[in-house]
Amino acid sequence: MLSRLLRQACRSYWPFAFLTLAAFGPALLDAKPLQIFFIDVEGGQSTLIVSPSGQSLLIDTGWRGFDGRDAERIVQAAKAAGVKQLDYVLITHYHRDHVGDVPQLADRMKIGTFLDHGPNMEDSRVVKEDYADYVKTLQRAEHRVLKPGDTVPIKDLTVQALAAAGEHIASPLAGAGQPNPFCASTPKRDDDPTENGRSLGVLITYDNFRFLDLGDLTWNKELELMCPANPIGTVDVYLTSHHGLNQSGSPALVHAVHPRVAIMNNGARKGGSPDAWQIVKNSPGLEDLWQLHYAMEGGQEHNVPDSFIANVDEHCQGSYLKLTAESNGSFTVFNSRNKFQRIYKSTK
């Protein structure tokens, strides 16, 4: 689009256009997109965001153990993104599939600042063990607790916490706040007392592009955030809550934010629950759903076509999905397994 406009300008006003291109052309033509890597950590979460300016934010680190499998996959994704250190590592909550790999990752990459929702709130042996290891690793970097409404200072992006430690933003974001019609048909469920409901969830905005990641925020906490009015508005891309498990992903959230594309960070045998999958597929205006794994539980009826799945075999090599977004709201999703990609034009 930019090249075409410059060519047109050169034909009509070539002297002025030449001077403009000479002064500003290299910076304009070299403008980089936002990059988001959805890394396969086998049903956990690890999402690498790299701003156009080159700053990096990793959301969660995957599992501990497995001979450093998840740390190595993160390192490889960072290399593909041209990232040599992680400026921020955001931990949504303290379950092993999200925080477990922090010590191993810190041994492999420099980390600038850890972000989290504050102290662990779950009384279980495994969670307390992983949290203790995380706290030890905090001594090797800066640390900041985020509360709802707080932002992370990354150039070119707005990274805003929407939920944290069981609380949520008190006021709607700019342009949002309309009544949510999906609340009335979304009943509450039993409360979840675990760390899932305390997830640190964020909205990442790059000019006209919006990406939503609420970690493992559970059903009732989604309703508290989204009802009776929608404080978020709509988004371009939604990372399915809780790996596509049916404890999360309520219509009051998914249908209200009206994503054009959803990414499911499920494993072969974790997440991708048929009923949760169907809620996403039924979301008004959804153009595509992409998955990190073929979900064994779903069968052919509740999995997307193979082209949209990063890993189709249960025992895989850890292929990732990569999203690149432009400031005008257009974006591309690329499957590293088969090199399939789809371009989504701006609707702004």
Predicted confidence (pLDDT) at residue 247 exceeds the cutoff of 70 = yes
207-232 tens-digit pLDDT: 999 999 999 999 999 999 999 999 99
Q: Residue 252: what pLDDT? A: 98
Alpha helices, DSSP H, located in 44-150: 69-81, 96-99, 102-108, 125-138
Which residue type does 92 have? T
Per-residue pLDDT, averaged over 69-84, amounts to 97
Q: What is the DSSP string of 236-278?
A: SEEEPGGGG-TTS--HHHHHHH--SEEEE---SSSS--HHHHH
Q: What is the pTM of this model?
A: 0.91
Predicted confidence (pLDDT) at residue 187 exceeds the cutoff of 90 = yes
Calpha distance 330→207 (Å, rounded): 11
φ/ψ of residue 10, rounded to 5: -65, -35
Residues 6 or more apart in contact with residue 15 via CB below 8 angstroms? none
Per-residue pLDDT, averaged over 138-153, amounts to 97
Per-residue pLDDT, averaged over 203-208, amounts to 98
Per-residue pLDDT, averaged over 64-75, amounts to 96
Calpha distance 87→258 (Å, rounded): 31
Q: At what angle do helices 14-29 and 2-12 cross, to 10 degrees?
A: 160
Find out whether 69 and 166 touch, Cβ atoms under 8 Å: no
Tokens found for residue 40: 């396969």
35-51 tens-digit pLDDT: 999 999 999 999 999 99
Tokens found for residue 132: 């203790």
Per-residue pLDDT, averaged over 61-89, amounts to 97
% of the chain surpassing 90 pLDDT: 90
270-314 tens-digit pLDDT: 999 999 999 999 999 999 999 999 999 999 999 999 999 999 999
Per-residue pLDDT, averaged over 247-267, amounts to 98
Calpha distance 321→314 (Å, rounded): 17
Predicted confidence (pLDDT) at residue 21 exceeds the cutoff of 90 = no
